[in-house]
Amino acid sequence: MGTAINMNRLEMLPTEYLERMKSLFGSEYDDFINSYEDEPLKALKFNPLKVREETVIKLINEWGLKRVPWCQDGYYYGGDIRPGLSPYHAAGVFYIQEPSAMITAEEADIGPDDLVLDLCAAPGGKSTQAAVKAGILISNEPIPKRARILSSNIERLGLSNVIVTSAYPEELAVLMPETFDRIIVDAPCSGEGMMRKDETAISEWSAANVQKCVLRQAGILDNAAVMLKPGGKLIYSTCTFEECENEDQVRDFCQRHEEFELLKSERILPHKDPGEGHFCAVLIKNEDDKSIRTKMSGISAELSDIAEKLRRGGIHVLRAGVQKGTLEKDKRGREYYVPSHAESMAKSFDRDDGNKINITSMDICLRYLKGESIRCEGPDKEGIDMSSAREGWMTVYYDGYPLGNGKLTGTVIKNHFPKGLRLM
């Protein structure tokens, strides 16, 4: 059935697109076009800040996972496997991502002291990959709706070193010249690498849209050039095959900005590599006598200070690190603390000395993720470790991974898993 669907999509491809691909691939064109008969490849990336080795081994065996060659934590999955419905997904143990796209953050050469900007970050695949290596990451998405999705993914993976913003590149460039050690630009593009799995990418393609993307990409890159420190690296990527959006775009950028040098570029092609297709280029901003090594005025390397700098500059900051809970009052006016979902997701079972339960039953876990209360008596009692539980607010874990909050009263834990995240 999958082949028939993909053959139908092949028939949907615009004639002009096919002609452009013939010109691009030449003798490889038949191999390229025949790749549309293959099923799209799916993958997930484990979160090294959370996942235990035994869980990786368990899921490799249960789901038949195979390693993505260019990403240490990436694995292909197939068949009827639906990782998005697994409690491990809700717990932030892994992120589902197109395998080709995993190459970008891997090529960024990010170190633990680096201040990193992901300029076009939603839905968050590259940011979640970069954050585990960076000192501080600013993860930016100009479109507010997409920025909220980005923020939710950052929260789910329990990342505490990320500032999520929603701003246009030029707004950030005015505020933060020569600030970042690494900048990732996964640019909006014509999306040709999405055509095998997404009919929308086919319907939206046109030669005119390709040219619009070229102009938009150039503007984003020019602003990124302003924000990168001398000696820093700019990583540019797309999921299109167009040379004008890839190699030509990089060449033109280097002509406009002579201080930049191309270190390497790489293509992942669906008829050669196990992925949907991606382009990635790494550039360095060279230092010379004319370099202005400005720093953020009055700003230390602390995340909260950077976030405040952004807010004062009019940048919409959706989250800065781990969002804290709130102080509320009961009917008698007594204050009590209500923990946030973000706080629970950033916790580690072994380091959590607070009020908590650990669910060991898959059935009970799925009921919690659907928003049901948990009864700590009767048959359910055998599926919950209550050894660290007491009345009041608590963190709910599954297999030692955080899922969210609950509140124990008597023998019932009221569910406080966010409504917008609940399984249907």
Which active-site residues does the annotation give? 239
Task: List residues bridging with 356 in a β-sheet.
Answer: 395
In angstroms, what CA-CA distances link 274 with 124, 192, 268?
21, 16, 8
**No. of helices (H) and no. of strands (E), the chain:** 15, 20
- What strand order describes the sheet that includes 136-140? 260-268, 278-285, 228-238, 180-186, 115-118, 136-140, 162-166, 316-320
Tell me the pairing of strands 260-268 and 94-96: unpaired
Q: Are 85 and 107 in contact (CB under 8 A)?
A: no
Q: Which residues contact 306 (CB under 8 A, 6 or more apart)?
A: 115, 136, 138, 163, 296, 299, 320
Give the gyration radius of the chain's Cα atoms: 23
Q: Give CA–CA dist 127/8, Å, rounded.
A: 34
The runs of H, that is alpha helices, within 320-401 are 341-345, 362-369
